[in-house]
């Protein structure tokens, strides 16, 4: 399902360089869909960084860190930020139970194949926030997947093999309730309430994060950008199924061989300090960076967060 008639809101006051919007066709259980992706930098660059957002977010979350990465590379870099299916400018699935990690990972393989066809990739890095990190674990933790090249460096943003049930319950309280707002400002206030764990942001930073989260409605109002049906499979998750899935996620994590950076908000309710410590002791032995005053998940807007990511991905 596609809702192109109801376009996400643009920012008429934005002066930054804008990314290009592209699409890739992806097969699914009932046919196919288009996944949108935002591309920064040089479309022909051989070094590609894929940045994948969290459960109810979209690819423009990475605007600040994408620009910083391209600037750090002197422009010789492709930063690709997909809108995972059901979000942003991507199509909506006709079968809600398709909104799960296996479909998302398959879509990323289709994206990488298209990027490789457009310009050969010699270096591939991955930045994944929450759900995007889980997708990254699937991509990096399964040898033999048809990647253009193995992932060189992986950034897991506030996620790991153990996902705390309290955080899932908190997210479940609002997921799927896309709302109706009279204005961008009204929507931004509502999103700020449910996103308190993101940590402090200036009003300008929060507005920049909020605008791409909205799409216009025919009555002049706006609503959140995603298909409410992404909540359908999420609501089938139980404490028992979450616990049972941990072994599989640890198996994926332990199979990762690329250099790995783990970001964690010190107030995170999704990634515990104990899990973060264990991730530093096994598998790829992730390097840990923690941020005070932040919960789930760091938005990669604050200068210290951006610096940690750009330093890690830019190091020789």
**Which candidate, 292, 129, 130, 301, places its Cα nearest to that of 201?**
301
- pLDDT at position 7: 41
- pLDDT at position 9: 44
**Matching residue, tokens 């398709």:** 98
Q: What letter does residue 246 receive in the DSSP assignment? A: H
Could you tell me if 63 and 208 are in contact, meaning their C-beta atoms sit under 8 angstroms apart? yes
- pLDDT at position 3: 35
CB neighbours of 29 closer than 8 A, spacing ≥ 6?
95, 98
- pLDDT at position 316: 76
**Which candidate, 30, 142, 35, 163, places its Cα nearest to that of 97?**
30
Angle at which helices 101-118 and 131-140 cross, to 10°: 70
Burial class, 190, CB count within 10 angstroms (exposed 0-12 / middle 13-18 / buried 19+): middle
Helices (H), 198-302: 203-210, 231-234, 239-254, 273-279
- pLDDT at position 48: 98
- pLDDT at position 313: 97
- Per-residue pLDDT for the chain (316 aa), expressed as one digit of tens each? 433 334 444 333 333 578 999 999 999 999 999 999 999 999 999 999 999 999 999 999 999 999 999 999 999 999 999 999 999 999 999 999 999 999 999 999 999 999 999 999 999 999 999 999 999 999 999 999 999 999 999 999 999 999 999 999 999 999 999 999 999 999 999 999 989 999 999 999 999 999 999 999 999 999 999 999 999 999 999 999 999 999 999 999 999 999 999 999 999 999 999 999 999 999 999 999 999 999 999 999 999 999 999 999 998 7
- pLDDT at position 2: 38
pTM of the complete model: 0.93
Q: What letter does residue 8 receive in the DSSP assignment? A: B
Residue 261 host element (H or E): strand 259-265
Could you tell me if 45 and 66 are in contact, meaning their C-beta atoms sit under 8 angstroms apart? no
Q: What distance in Å separates the CA atoms of residue 233 and residue 297, rounded to the nearest whole number?
A: 22
Could you tell me if 40 and 110 are in contact, meaning their C-beta atoms sit under 8 angstroms apart? no
- pLDDT at position 315: 86
């Amino acid at each position: 399902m596609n809702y192109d008639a109801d376009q996400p809101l643009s920012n008429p006051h934005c002066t930054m360089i804008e990314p290009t919007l592209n699409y890739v066709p992806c097969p699914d259980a009932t046919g196919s869909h288009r996944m949108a992706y935002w591309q920064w930098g040089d479309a022909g660059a051989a070094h590609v960084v894929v940045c994948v957002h969290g459960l109810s977010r979209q690819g423009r979350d990475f605007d600040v860190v994408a620009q910083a990465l391209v600037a750090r590379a002197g422009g010789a870099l492709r930063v690709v930020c997909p809108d995972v299916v059901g979000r942003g400018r991507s199509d909506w699935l006709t079968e809600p139970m398709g909104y799960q990690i296996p479909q998302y990972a398959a879509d990323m393989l289709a994206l990488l194949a298209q990027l490789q066809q457009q310009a050969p990739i010699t270096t591939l890095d991955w930045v994944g926030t929450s759900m995007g990190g889980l997708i990254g674990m699937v991509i990096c933790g399964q040898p033999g997947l048809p990647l253009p090249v193995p992932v060189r460096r992986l950034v897991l943003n506030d996620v790991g093999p153990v996902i705390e049930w309290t955080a899932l319950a908190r997210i479940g309280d609002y997921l799927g309730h896309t709302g109706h707002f009279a204005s961008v400002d009204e929507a931004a206030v509502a999103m700020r309430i449910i996103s308190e764990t993101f940590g402090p942001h200036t009003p300008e930073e929060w507005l920049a994060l909020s605008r791409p989260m909205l799409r216009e409605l025919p009555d002049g109002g706006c609503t959140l950008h995603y298909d409410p049906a992404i909540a359908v499979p999420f609501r089938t998750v139980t404490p028992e199924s979450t616990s049972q899935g941990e072994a599989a996620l640890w198996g994926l994590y332990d199979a990762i061989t690329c250099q790995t950076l783990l970001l964690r908000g010190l107030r995170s309710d999704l990634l515990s300090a104990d899990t973060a410590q264990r991730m530093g002791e096994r598998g790829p032995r992730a390097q840990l960076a923690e941020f005070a005053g932040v919960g789930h998940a760091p938005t990669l807007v604050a200068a210290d967060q951006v610096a940690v990511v750009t330093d890690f991905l830019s190091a020789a």
